[in-house]
Amino acid sequence: MLRKARIGDVKTIHRMINVSSGKGEMLPRSLMDIYGNLRDFFVYFHEDGTTIQGICAMSIIWENLAEVRSLYVDDEYRNRGIGRKLVEACISEAIILQLYRVFTLTRKPEFFRHLGFKEVDRSTLSEKIWVDCFHCPKYPEFCDEVAMAVDL
């Protein structure tokens, strides 16, 4: 089941992001950052309502640009369509907010290609996206993320 994140989800979101960060899948985020951006997050949870299986956030960047970020599904729940549902929820919210371009920076371009995203040159995206890049130890020479976008 899918819903917007709640305050009680913050520590689980934090744990999931940092597990993913430990695998080199995304940058770590602090609890303070997650609390401050909680409204960006969706969670997918088991029907018993207690086990969060996946997370994803949609962050507004500019007047017509949003980013899908912090997508993570626990290993034991992967390949069940949870990631797709989370990204689709973010895209639906972007449409409701009249944001008609959504991008992501990913190490899994095939996954996003299946959802209609296309590879784009980073320079075509707002300079605001570079804020996180500056904090990444792989920036600039060793960046292995692919910029992808979908126009809605």
Dihedral angle of Cα 113, 117, 123, 124, to the nearest 10 degrees: 150
Percent of the residues in the chain that have a pLDDT greater than 70, as a whole number: 88
Alpha helices by DSSP H, the chain = 10-22, 31-36, 82-96, 109-113, 130-134
Tell me how far apart the alpha carbons of residues 61 and 75 are, in angstroms, rounded to a whole number. 29
pLDDT band at 123 (very low <50, low <70, confident <90, very high): confident
pLDDT digits (tens, 9 = 90+) for 1-56: 999 999 999 999 999 999 999 998 888 899 999 999 999 999 999 888 779 999 99
Considering the four listed CATH numbers 3.30.429.10, 3.40.630.30, 3.30.70.330, 3.40.140.10, the one that applies to the domain covering 2-151 is 3.40.630.30
Is the bond leading into 28 cis (omega within 30 degrees of zero)?
no
The secondary structure element, H or E, covering residue 2 is: strand 2-4
* Stated length of the chain: 152
Task: Name the pTM for this structure.
Answer: 0.90
Maximum C-alpha span of the chain: 45
Phi, psi for 100 (deg, rounded to 5)? -105, 10
- Give the C-alpha separation, 65 to 50, whole Å: 33
Q: Would you state the pLDDT for residue 26?
A: 87
> What integer is the mean pLDDT of 69-98?
97
Mean pLDDT of 129-136: 60
Region 129-149: what's the mean pLDDT?
67
Q: Give the three-state DSSP class for 63.
A: coil
